Amino acid sequence: MTTVNDSTPITAARVLDEERMNTLPSHFGRHLLTVENAVYGWLRELSGEYSGGYWHFYELSNGGFYMSPDCESLQLRVDGNGYNGRMSGDAAGIVACLFALSHLSFRIPSDMLSRHFQQLLEFAAAHREASAIFAATD
């Protein structure tokens, strides 16, 4: 958990199955498929162990969003910075989302992607695996 202005904790709430269909459009509008596919693609690139499957959606109390694969852990390797380590599926999802949002923010002229990147980064700062997340994304 991380805080906004050192007082309000940023929390994540798993999106219920019956609300999933509206979640991506509400956060990413017409870019929903681009963002979703980019996240899947980044995890495929970062983890040789990832082979698809169900993903959980999370909405953050600061307005952000992330998604994570339904798995216990994955080995991630980031050639660009030398990171190689195992982390939970939740942390791996955050890493994949951060990579996707960062890269897409340079391709799609919209403040929405940069805002979502920053909101997720703020949440990740106090995640129980923050050191691994930041080592992978640094």
Select the more confidently predicted residue: 70 or 9.
70
Query: Widest CA span of the chain, in angstroms?
Result: 40
Please state, in angstroms and as integers, the Cα–Cα distance from residue 13 to each residue in 7, 57, 59, 109, 116, following that order: 19, 8, 5, 28, 16
Q: Can you give the residue range of the structural domain that contains 70? A: 2-137
Split at pLDDT 50, 70, 90, the class of 2 is very low
Facing residues of 29 across strands? none
Q: Tell me the mean pLDDT in the region 38-62.
A: 97
Provide the number of structural domains found in the chain. 1
Q: What percent of the chain has pLDDT above 70?
A: 95
Average pLDDT over residues 28-57: 97
Q: At 75, is the secondary structure helix, strand, or coil?
A: strand
Model pLDDT, residue 4:
46
CATH of the domain at 110: 3.30.70.3580
